Amino acid sequence: MEKGRRSSTVHVLAIPYPSQGHLNPILQFCKRLASKGLKATLAITTFISNSLHPDSDSVGFDTISDGYDEGGFMQAGDVQAYLTRLESAGSKTLAELIKRHESAGRPVDCVVYDAFLPWALEVAKQHGLAGAAFFTQPCAVNYVYYYAHHGFLTLPMSSLPISIPGMPLLELEDMPSFIYVHGSYPAYFELVLSQFSNVEKADYILVNTFYKLEDKVVDAMSKVSPMLTIGPTIPSFYLDKRVQNDKDYGLNVFQLDPSVCLEWLSNKPKRSVVYVSFGSMAHLSEEQMEELAWGFKGTNFYFLWVVRAAEEAKLPENFAEETFGRGLVVGWSPQLEVLASEAVGCFFSHCGWNSTIEALSLGVPMVVMPQWTDQTTNAKFVQDVWKVGIRVKMDEKGIVGRKEVESCIKEVMEGERGEEMKKNATKWRDLAKEAVSEGGTSNKDIDEFVSRLTNSLC
């Protein structure tokens, strides 16, 4: 279609990587775009669509195939097999989807694609469309991967500490796990580096962070790869309240009754509860679960612990009885509502980026126990840059002992350092709200993205 004949609304088609931690940030960004007058369509996999039946007042949904329509990732059973099929089936069905929208009179103008899916940019360019890479992880982590992709880091690492512009000096354990445990998860390592395989062809680079949170890293990386910071991508209700009916994410792989957690929290004193969650993918050993359990009990604080069904059998046999009235173990929680509760004084977390930016945006101090991927680098920033939490220390067996769990929680909840963390958490909460509000850095960058797209079609 010739640009001169355009009169309809700019149409953005967004393609997330098909996992919980990647779906919601792009969906939230789509809601922001829709609130600014664009048409936004989120294309999820057929399997996820059939499983979740997504719904939104402002964002349309469509599907592409990952080649495993009946069972998604679990049907593949192997990371490399899944990623290979996702690319082949995804490329083909994305092209068909673009053509279908064109035929229906609602042509796509820009493909916003998760940077984990560089093949989506190739499809966009084949159809003459603008392409926007969407990085769901923080700028600091992206910059480490950028350095690794371009060979600026020698792997395996031998010279320490590591110096990268705009970042604090990094020890080996501060690097993303795919780098500090060299050779681990080779398919995922290739995936995170491939984000930069063709990014120079993208018309826009969007990062799920906000400028003041990572100003030094953003400034350094922008010199080699100009970007727009558009985060935090959490529902507007918890930030600026300017996007209508945006109170929750709208796509949850795990969903149970939220009232159990919220009613339990409702009669707890202010800042008396430790909220514990390790996200949707962590797998802890039985010994580690036991140490955590007795560590939480030993603090004498209330605790709300999210334990997935697959992990439940690892809890100590008599744990529920011994902590009755003091602790609540649930299979799922409405995390945003829990973190927003005045009863919560500390978030004991795996430090995944979505959980981290939610805690920062809601002003909750943290104890962090990173497991893998970006979590180790996020933990470095939580403790040493943003100063809103403590990273637990492991023993020689790689286990975090109950005494360490207990002392870290007590330090955050009632220690001197804890008071400073609470002040810093409040500061970052206010800056997160400022970023997405009128005149804030993220709002301005989203406006620039909308303006440039709109002007390019005039």
Burial class (CB in 10 A: 0-12, 13-18, 19+), 95: middle
Name the average pLDDT for the chain.
94
Per-residue model confidence as pLDDT tens digits over 330-385 = 999 999 999 999 999 999 999 999 999 999 999 999 999 999 999 999 999 999 99
* Residues 135, 118: Cα–Cα separation, whole Å: 11
- Cα end-to-end span (Å), the chain: 13
Predicted local confidence at residue 254, as pLDDT: 60
The pLDDT of residue 255 is: 61
User: How far from 146 is each of 23, 123, 183, 206, 418, CA to CA, in Å?
Assistant: 23, 23, 18, 15, 34
pLDDT of residue 54: 85
Express as a percent the part of the chain with pLDDT over 70.
97
Q: Which of 401, 303, 378, 386 is nearest to 345 (CA)?
A: 303
pLDDT of res. 310: 87
Within 10 Å of residue 277's Cβ, how many Cβ atoms?
23
Per-residue pLDDT of the chain (458 residues; tens, 9 = 90+): 343 334 469 999 999 999 989 999 999 999 999 999 999 999 999 999 998 888 889 999 999 999 999 999 999 989 999 999 999 999 999 999 999 999 999 999 999 999 999 999 999 999 999 999 999 999 999 999 999 999 999 899 888 999 999 999 999 999 999 998 988 899 999 999 999 999 999 999 999 999 999 999 999 999 999 999 999 999 999 999 999 999 999 777 666 678 899 999 999 999 999 999 998 777 899 999 999 999 999 999 999 999 998 899 999 999 989 999 999 999 999 999 999 999 999 999 999 999 999 999 999 999 999 999 999 999 999 999 999 999 999 999 999 999 999 999 999 999 899 999 999 999 999 999 999 999 999 999 999 999 999 998 76
